[in-house]
């Protein structure tokens, strides 16, 4: 594990947090979740991974998380959680990530088993045991909302929630809604209303950080199993993005929520009031960010990320991946 300026990867990265960061990753792997998990294990102390239905079914996201920790040889416990949102039916993103959630690779069936199927119980327990714990939430916020609903003190006990979700701008699941919030708006509403210290990395930020074919070449040139697997994941995403967006580049959404903690110097944030639209015909799942310049702006409940040093972030991510 890396501490502050001395990266395990010795990548000479910029913007490192000089203090150790204790985290739990709540995720739905997912290509960019996979990168976030690998990045986090190089630069933070990871106390556990919890899985949620999102990019794929809970069964698939959990299997992917187990395969990933096995692949990189860490003993991080994996706890599975919610197989559906607080309300309604689960929605997935097979058109982006493939039916398994990690389209483009055939991962071996993991030998590792889940530590429990009670993600929210685990979140509550680890928050009691570990001081200054951050929850890095990079899937729909269902597990985190369950934890908050079960224990009103959870939100104030943790250091905060660094989330990839929402947008201060364009959407992806709909014109205005980002997938993780859109997949469970009621859960996101619980989180934004919880009083927790929230860092929000939305699409307005994560669209600034995109892979390209040069990164795939760099990873392949290493001739090592883990970088090679990530290269295959990016190849799949580039194929999907070419179909969907007309460009062979893919936004690294989820790693931004890790970098917000491990390399805060790479990002800029503004204090903002964020509300989740639960009702609108065209706007359900939208994060409504108060960007008025008037003094009558609503009181902030989140730090919203607006800018990332994409070059610095990409070289930090690349070095972390090559270090496996």
Interface positions with Ca ion (CB under 5 A): 28, 30, 33, 138-139, 254
Q: Which of 36, 39, 43 is nearest to 20 (CA)?
A: 43
146 flagged as catalytic: no
Whole-Å CA distances, 14 to 5, 50, 234, 265, 313? 8, 29, 24, 7, 8
Task: Give the number of residues in contact with ligand BDR, rule: CB under 6 A.
Answer: 15
The interface partner of residue 26, options being ligand BDR, Ca ion, none and the CB cut-off 5 to 8 Å by kind, is none
For the chain, what is the total number of helices (H) and then of strands (E)? 13, 10
Nearer Cβ to ligand BDR, position 79 or 253? 253
Binding to ligand BDR (CB under 6 A) within 255-314 occurs at none
Q: Among the options 43, 97, 238, 253, which is catalytic?
A: 253
| Tokens read off for 166 | 């929402």
To ligand BDR, the closest distance from the beta carbon of 56 in angstroms equals 10
Q: Per-residue x/- mask for ligand BDR, residues 153 to 192, rule CB under 6 A? A: -----------x-------x-----xxx------------
Are the C-beta atoms of 30 and 8 separated by less than 8 Å? no
Binds ligand BDR by CB under 6 A, chosen from 63, 199, 253, 272: 253
Q: What's the CA gap between 52 and 60, in Å, rounded?
A: 10
Binding of ligand BDR by 58 (CB under 6 A): no
Q: What's the CA gap between 270 and 154, in Å, rounded?
A: 24
Nearer Cβ to ligand BDR, position 69 or 130? 69
To Ca ion, the closest distance from the beta carbon of 297 in angstroms equals 30
Tell me phi and psi for residue 74, to 5 degrees. Answer: -115, 155
| Tokens read off for 299 | 């009181």
Binds ligand BDR by CB under 6 A, chosen from 235, 254, 277, 303: 254
To ligand BDR, the closest distance from the beta carbon of 153 in angstroms equals 27
Are the C-beta atoms of 19 and 115 separated by less than 8 Å? no
Q: Which DSSP state fits 110?
A: P
Residue numbers of the site for ligand BDR (CB under 6 A)? 30, 32-33, 55, 93, 96, 138-139, 164, 172, 178-180, 253-254
């Amino acid at each position: 594990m890396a501490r502050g300026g001395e990266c395990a990867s010795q990548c000479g990265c910029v913007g490192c947090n000089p203090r150790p960061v204790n985290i739990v990753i709540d995720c739905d792997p997912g290509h960019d979740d996979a990168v976030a998990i690998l990045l986090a294990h190089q630069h933070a102390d990871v106390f556990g991974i919890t899985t949620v239905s999102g990019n794929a079914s809970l069964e698939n996201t959990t299997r992917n998380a187990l395969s990933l920790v096995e692949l990189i040889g860490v003993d991080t416990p994996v706890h599975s959680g919610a197989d559906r949102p607080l309300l309604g039916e689960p929605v997935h993103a097979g058109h982006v990530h493939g039916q398994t959630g990690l389209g483009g690779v055939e991962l071996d069936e993991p030998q590792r088993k889940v530590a429990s199927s009670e993600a929210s119980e685990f979140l509550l327990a680890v928050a009691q045991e570990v001081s200054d714990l951050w929850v890095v939430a990079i899937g729909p916020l269902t597990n985190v909302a369950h934890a908050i609903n079960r224990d009103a003190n959870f939100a104030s006990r943790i250091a905060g929630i660094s989330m990839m979700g929402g947008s201060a701008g364009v959407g992806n699941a709909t014109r205005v809604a980002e997938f993780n919030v859109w997949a469970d708006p009621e859960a996101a509403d619980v989180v934004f209303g919880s009083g927790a210290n929230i860092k929000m990395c939305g699409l307005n930020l994560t669209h600034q950080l995109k892979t390209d074919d040069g990164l795939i070449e760099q990873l392949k040139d290493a001739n090592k199993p883990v970088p090679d697997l990530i290269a295959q994941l990016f190849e799949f995403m580039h194929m999907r993005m070419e179909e969907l967006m007309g460009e062979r580049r893919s936004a690294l959404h989820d790693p931004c929520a890790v970098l917000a903690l491990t390399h805060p110097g790479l990002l800029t944030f503004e204090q903002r009031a964020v509300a989740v639209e639960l009702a609108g015909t065209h706007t359900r799942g939208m994060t409504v960010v108060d960007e008025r310049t008037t003094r009558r702006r609503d009181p902030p409940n989140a730090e919203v990320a607006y800018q990332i040093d994409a070059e610095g972030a990409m070289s930090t991510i690349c070095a972390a991946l090559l270090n496996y």
